[in-house]
Structure 1
Amino acid sequence: MNPWAPGEIVVDPNSPEPLYAQVARQLRAAIEDGRLPNGARLDNEVDLAARLYLSRPTIRQAIQSLVNQGLLVRKRGVGTQVVRTKVARPLRLSSLFDDLSELGDKPETVVLVNQVEPAGEDAAERLETPGLTRVRRLKRVRSTGGEPLAVMNNYLPDGVIDPDDDELRAKGLYQLLRSAGVRLHAAQQNVGAREATEEDAELLGEKPGAALLTMRRTTYDDAGRVVEYGWHLYRASRYSFNLSLTNNV
């Protein structure tokens, strides 16, 4: 596939679609099909505006819309850079610990697994790091008001953080990552549902076969690297996901 060049963008001043949206749509297409790969740098706004015969505010608005979607990031001294080849949608990067704390609840955590182990093929694939040899695996039960709410499983590349069990009980995973200097930027998340197994039911205080919500999330830092992959279970009777949708057309 040929490298992307600004000249590939074609805008139609007579189109009802705003000029900035035309530019953003074509930039997004180049990111999603790989012509603008992860880590690629865009020309500065002045040069892009000159090449496309558009105003600088138009280019700035186009770029900002992709920054808001998690596809681009602005870095001082570096410029504008592609950080992901695909992001499902903009996400509020918060953990269950953060959400419960904001609601005034006091999260409680039982740490079931906190260990570094050889990275299997699945962990390396989930963390998008071929050749990864070691991974930190976490498994915790999060409760509130003495009642279990979720079972949380995570993979992290070894060395990103090294928390002990007390830290995992006292703080959320994203708190620990931020405290270690990790700059969380974007995530890809999938939500689904399944029935509780006997093990799930025992951990969550439900009956086998009860409805559970599932969530899988891959979180990226501002350099486009995966810093954690999580697969979690939530009691459908106690938890729901609320999404805010906006019209970007």
Structure 2
Amino acid sequence: MQGALPLDQLQKLGGGPLYVRLKKLIEQAMTEGKLKHGDALPAERDIADAAAISRVTVRKAIDSLVDQGLLVRRRGSGTFVVKQVPRMQQPLTRLTSFSEDMRRRGMSAGSRWLDRGLYHPTPEETMTLGLFGEARVARLLRLRTANDMPIALERTSLPDDILPDPDAIENSLYQALAVRNIRPVRANQRISAVLLQEDETELLGVPPGSAALRVQRIAYLETGRVMEVSTALYRSDAYDLVAELTIGN
């Protein structure tokens, strides 16, 4: 890390107060690729010792970068670099999967599986999915990525006759279902703003207390049967949801 941050040179740099110089030094290391997304900064006391400055000065520089969203503090783990992602507009007039949406943008969609399997349904899943008897529910929980950057946390539930083997899903759920001629034709979505929990911010790589867009979807087959229910938490620094409105006659 010393090579990425030449802290022993800080006192010789010009450009205002020491905390501003340190801030610029860290930003330059990010710009030059010496500090990459997910890299941990040295402890504040180590930075202070190496640069011969006070910990108050270090804390002020790091606080500024955290406020800008360039660094994130994780309790008990340290301070980490966060790569900024380009903002994306998500139209609300088309029913697409995450993989289709990323492919349309020329980005590579990926998944990090957190959980998947067949479970006994909750009362809410039983009612919403129209389950009965000994039917089980297929649950998918995954971190969705675009060009290897965390973008969304997605929780999906489907009837087990629609998805009998959750482990068979490699990346795109809709693509895997399409092979069996199962396709949603419409969906209802409810969108709200929420504050992320601590474990969710760590998975998405955003500062503690960050906001997210929660998109709850119920998708239907052509027969009118509910095919899936899902809740996705999208990074609010990456997504804008856009709807085109027209004036009625």
Instruction: Tell me whether the two structures share a fold, i.e. TM-score over 0.5.
Output: yes
Please, what TM-score do these two structures have when normalized by structure 2?
Answer: 0.59
Give the structure with higher Rg (CA).
Answer: 2
Pick from 73, 95, 100: which aligns with 2:102?
100
1:60-75 equivalent positions in 2, closer than 5 A: none
Contact 2:117 2:166 in 1 (8 A): no
CA contact (8 A) 2:191 2:213 kept: yes
The within-5 A match list for 1:1-249 is 91-129=93-131, 131=133, 133-163=135-165, 165=167, 167-169=169-171, 172-249=172-249
Distance 2:185 2:248 in 1: 20
Supply the AA of the counterpart residue of 1:110.
R
Take 1:186 and 1:132, find their aligned partners in 2: how far apart are those partners?
27
For 1:226 and 1:192, the matched residues in 2 are separated by: 22
Amino acid aligned to 1:182:
I
Offset, 1:174 = 1.7
| Equivalent-residue separation in structure 2 for 1:126 and 1:208 (angstroms) | 33
SS in 1 for 2:175: helix
CA–CA separation in structure 1 for the residues paired with 2:226 and 2:151? 26
1:191 partner SS: strand
Contact 1:138 1:153 in 2 (8 A): yes
1:20-78 Cα offsets, whole Å, 9 max, x none, are xxxxxxxxxxxxxxxxxxxxxxxxxxxxxxxxxxxxxxxxxxxxxxxxxxxxxxxxxxx
SS of 2:170 mapped into structure 1: helix
Ranges in structure 1 where 5+ consecutive residues have no aligned partner:
1-89
Partners of 1:95 and 1:204 lie apart in 2 by: 19
| Cα shift at 1:155 | 0.5
Q: Is residue 148–residue 203 contact of structure 1 (8 Å, CA) maintained in 2?
A: yes
SS of aligned partner of 2:231 = strand
Alpha-carbon distance change, 248 to 180 in structure 1, aligned in 2, over 3 angstroms: farther
Structure 1 residue 132: deviation in Å?
Answer: 6.4
Contact 1:213–1:236 under 8 Å retained in 2 = yes
Contact 2:174 2:183 in 1 (8 A): no
**2:27 paired residue number:** none
Alpha-carbon offset, residue 91 of structure 1: 4.3
**Structure 1 residue 211: Cα displacement:** 0.9
Deviates more, 1:106-115 or 1:218-227: 106-115
Identical positions, percent: 31
> Does structure 1 conserve the Cα–Cα contact (< 8 Å) formed by 2:140 and 2:166?
no
- Size of the aligned set, in residue pairs, is 158
Separation in structure 2 between the aligned mates of residue 209 and residue 224 of structure 1, nearest angstrom: 39
3-state SS of the aligned residue for 1:240? strand
Distance 1:198 1:226 in 2: 32
Q: Deviation of residue 130 (structure 1)?
A: 5.1
The CA distance in 2 between the partners of 1:214 and 1:91, in whole Å, is 17
Alignment gaps of 5+ in structure 2: 1-91
Query: Could you say if the C-alpha distance between residues 179 and 236 of structure 1 is closer, same or farther in structure 2, counting changes exceeding 3 Å?
Result: same
- What amino acid sits opposite 2:228 in the alignment? E
The 1:208–1:229 alpha-carbon spacing in structure 2 relative to 1, beyond 3 Å, is same
Q: Distance in 2 between matches of 1:133 and 1:159?
A: 8
How many Å separate the matches in 2 of 1:209 and 1:121? Answer: 31
1:77-130 deviation per Cα after TM superposition (whole angstroms, max 9, x unaligned): xxxxxxxxxxxxx94210111100111100111111110011120211232445
Instruction: Tell me the CA shift for residue 162 of structure 1.
Output: 3.7
